[in-house]
Amino acid sequence: MNEACQSVVFEHPLNERTRSWLRIETSLQQMHTLAPLDSLPASLAFFRAAAEFIEVTDRGEVRSEILKELEKQQKKLLKWAEAPNADQALIQGFSDDLKQQSVALSTAPRIAQHLKDDKIIAIVRQRLSIPGGCCGFDLPYLHLWLNLSQDVRDNTLAGWLEGLQPLKNALGSLLTMLRRSAHFSAVESHNGFYQDNAEGADLLRLRLPVDYLIYPQVSGHKSRFAIRFLHTDSEHGIIPVKLPFEIACC
C-alpha cells in the first residue's frame, strides 16, 4: 500500500475488557482535549464526557483488571528479556514504566469518586438526559460558574483531570503495548467480505486509504472475526471485487 496515501485506522475490540478500555480511553481523550472550559458548549461537552466516563467505570472492576494486566505484561517482558539478542534497555524501560503505573494506580483514590462527589458535575449529570435541559434557566448554578474568572475554572478543571491521571497513564501504557504487539499485514477482501481467525487476540486493527471512502463493519469475538466493507455512498458507491487493506491482530 502506498505510504504516501493518507490512511485511517479502524479498531474493533475482540472481548468485553478491551471494549471497556477503548471507551474509557475515548472519554479521557475528550475530557483532556476540551480544556479550557471557556464557553457553554465546551463545558457541556466536557460534562457529557465525564458522565460517560463515570458510567463506564462503574460497570466493572476497572482498577483490578488493569492492575492484573500490568502484572501480566511485566511477566511477559521478563520472558522477552530471555530471548537471544533482546534489546535489554528497551525491555527494562517498558518494565520500569509498567511498575511505576501499577504503583500509582494501586495507591490512587477510588476511580472517578472525586467526579461523583463534585457538586457541579453532579448537578449537570442530572440534566444531560433531558433534551435541551442544560439551559441557563435550568442550571443557574452552571450559569454562575461559567461567569467566574477563567483562572477559577482552570483550577477546578485541573483538579478533576489530576485525579484521573493514574488511570490515564496506566491505561495508556497498556493500550500502547497492545497496539504495538502486532504489525500490519497486507491482505485483500473479496466481494467486500473478509474473515479469519484471531486466536488469543484482544484487538483488531484495520488500515485503509481515506480516499477509498470505504469503512468496515466488523463482527468478531475471541477467536474469529468477519468484516463486511461498506461505501459511504450506499446507493452509488462501488466496492472493488478485490479490496487491498492492512490488518493487525493485537
Kindly report, residue by residue over 143-158, the tens digit of the pLDDT: 999 999 999 999 999 9
Q: Which residues of 2-23 are buried (b: 16+ CB within 10 A; e: fewer)?
A: eeeeebeebebbbeebbebbbb
At 4 the pLDDT is 53
The domains of the chain are located at: 15-180, 182-249
Q: Tell me which fold the domain 15-180 belongs to.
A: YacF-like (1.10.3900)
- pLDDT tier, 176 (very low <50, low <70, confident <90, very high otherwise): very high
Contact status, residue 189 vs residue 214, Cβ threshold 8 Å: no
pLDDT greater than 80 at residue 5: no
Q: Which residues of 165-187 are buried (b: 16+ CB within 10 A; e: fewer)?
A: ebbbebbebbbebbeeebeeeee
> In 3D, which of 194, 249, 200, 195 has the Cα closest to residue 223?
200
Mean pLDDT of 225-246: 95
Helix, coil or strand: residue 66:
helix
> In 3D, which of 200, 228, 225, 224 has the Cα closest to residue 216?
228
> In 3D, which of 116, 126, 112, 121 has the Cα closest to residue 153?
121
Q: What is the pLDDT of the chain when averaged over all its residues?
A: 91
Mean pLDDT of 178-182: 91
Kindly report, residue by residue over 191-204, the tens digit of the pLDDT: 999 999 988 899 99
Mean pLDDT of 87-116: 91
Burial of 114 (0-12, 13-18, 19+ CB in 10 A): middle
pLDDT greater than 50 at residue 182: yes
Residue 106: what residue type?
S
Helix, coil or strand: residue 138:
coil
Q: Domain 182-249 in CATH: superfamily?
A: YacF-like domains (2.60.440.10)
In angstroms, what CA-CA distances link 99 with 68, 102, 103, 106, 228?
12, 5, 6, 11, 40
- pLDDT tier, 2 (very low <50, low <70, confident <90, very high otherwise): very low
> In 3D, which of 32, 38, 35, 34 has the Cα closest to residue 150?
38
